[in-house]
Amino acid sequence: MKTAILSIGDELLLGEVVDTNSARIAARLADAGIATARKLTVGDDEGAIAGALESLAREHDVIIATGGLGPTDDDVTARAAARATGRRLVLNEEAMARLREFFVRLGREMHPANGRQCLLPAKAELIPNPTGTASGFHLLLDGCLLIFLPGVPAEMAVMLEETVVPLVLARRGGYQCTRTSTLTVFGLSEAEIGSRLSDLDRSRPGFAVAYCVEYPVVQVKLRATGADEGALAALLEDMAALVRERLGGHVVAGDGETIDTTVARLFRETGMTLSLAESCTGGLVAARITAISGSSAYFLLGAVTYANDAKARLLGVSDGLLAEKGAVNAEVAKAMARGARRLAGSDLALAVTGIAGPDGGSPDKPVGTVFIALADRAGCTAKGYHFSGDRDRIRTITAVTAMDWLRRRLLAG
């Protein structure tokens, strides 16, 4: 079964709104074992929409379209569907009844313009919208099933799950599903990961590996397709174990986790406490820590000591060390970590200092020079890095590297 997704709206073409609907539809169809063959975006133009429907219908079995079902003049999808299928646009009494009930539930009077949302192609089958005013609908064009959904993501998602997926599965006949397991990898390039896993695609029928870079991590997506869900789960478990074996400690999170939630879980499991001293990251590490509910149980203190005076007064970094070596070096990073640990009384203390740019670099310490230090009861270690990119990328990869330091230390016990 060949399936296409048609996204409708000038705001999508102009880049004013990110098209999350097509991604959600494709992912949900993939879970049901249905691959999306093509995605297309057109503006709010009746002729362009009708032309896209006619063209896609010649090559696909199902088209799922979103957008253009609202009450305003630029909402022309229903007219375009009627034009493409050679049908009249008529008042759909079921849609009108549902719309009136919707406003009664809200306790509001229906605006006359909303009635336009009930003008649908003749003999179209309704797709109920339990959370909004625009009913969806479906009809056939030369044997191709055309499905139309509103563009509001929350409304579309409910209709997709409740009506559209069962409708498409019934049309296909038989049952096959696709299951995905995702592993998050940090510290290896996409090319290196691909090289280490290059033979996995050929190892099992119905199994595939895909890669998605979400700087600065890489998502390794393991996909298995078949009719036996138990067998798929077992296959993914085996393959995930193999990926972990080949990539080692660079796998920082599994399904349902991020590096941040992994670190949070490890803090809860170990019972250790944490303090932070940040300079170039400006609190980004603390933000990642505190974004996880329950972090107050282990995160005691975070200090953004951006100025040298703050490093000296709050953390006890010596003025002599700062004067002699500057703020960006291993010795200062260590002193910051020790100072934070002493100030908070925490088990662990992590410090970050560096040059995020675009100014402040020198031949000896170019932009992207970063030092991270970690102090505990046994002592303090530090390491220097040279990151590339603009200010945001340098700060981001520094924060993620700091989280990885914490992850590895907590795993070590």
Same domain, residue pair 167 and 30: yes
Please write the tens of the pLDDT for every residue from 380-403.
Answer: 999 999 999 999 999 999 999 999
Kindly tell me if the per-residue pLDDT of 174 is higher than 80.
no
Please write the tens of the pLDDT for every residue from 254-277.
Answer: 998 999 999 999 999 999 999 999
Q: Using CA of residue 301, residue 305, residue 310, residue 315, what is the dihedral sign?
A: positive
Same domain, residue pair 76 and 156: yes
Please write the tens of the pLDDT for every residue from 54-113.
Answer: 999 999 999 999 999 999 999 999 999 999 999 999 999 999 999 999 999 999 999 999
Looking at residue 396, its amino acid is T
Q: Is the peptide bond before 216 cis (omega within 30 degrees of 0)?
A: yes
**Range 312-337 average pLDDT:** 97
Q: Which CATH number fits the domain that encloses residue 94?
A: 3.40.980.10
Which burial class, exposed, middle or buried, applies to 319 when counting CB atoms under 10 A from its CB (0-12, 13-18, 19+)? exposed
Q: Which CATH number fits the domain that encloses residue 234?
A: 3.30.70.2860
Same domain, residue pair 244 and 300: no
Kindly tell me if the per-residue pLDDT of 172 is higher than 90.
no
**Domain boundaries, position 249:** 177-253
Q: What is the pLDDT of residue 175?
A: 62
**Range 167-180 average pLDDT:** 81
Same domain, residue pair 312 and 375: yes
Kindly tell me if the per-residue pLDDT of 188 is higher than 80.
yes
Give the rounded distance of the alpha carbon of 52 from its chain centre: 29
Q: Using CA of residue 64, residue 70, residue 75, residue 79, what is the dihedral sign?
A: positive
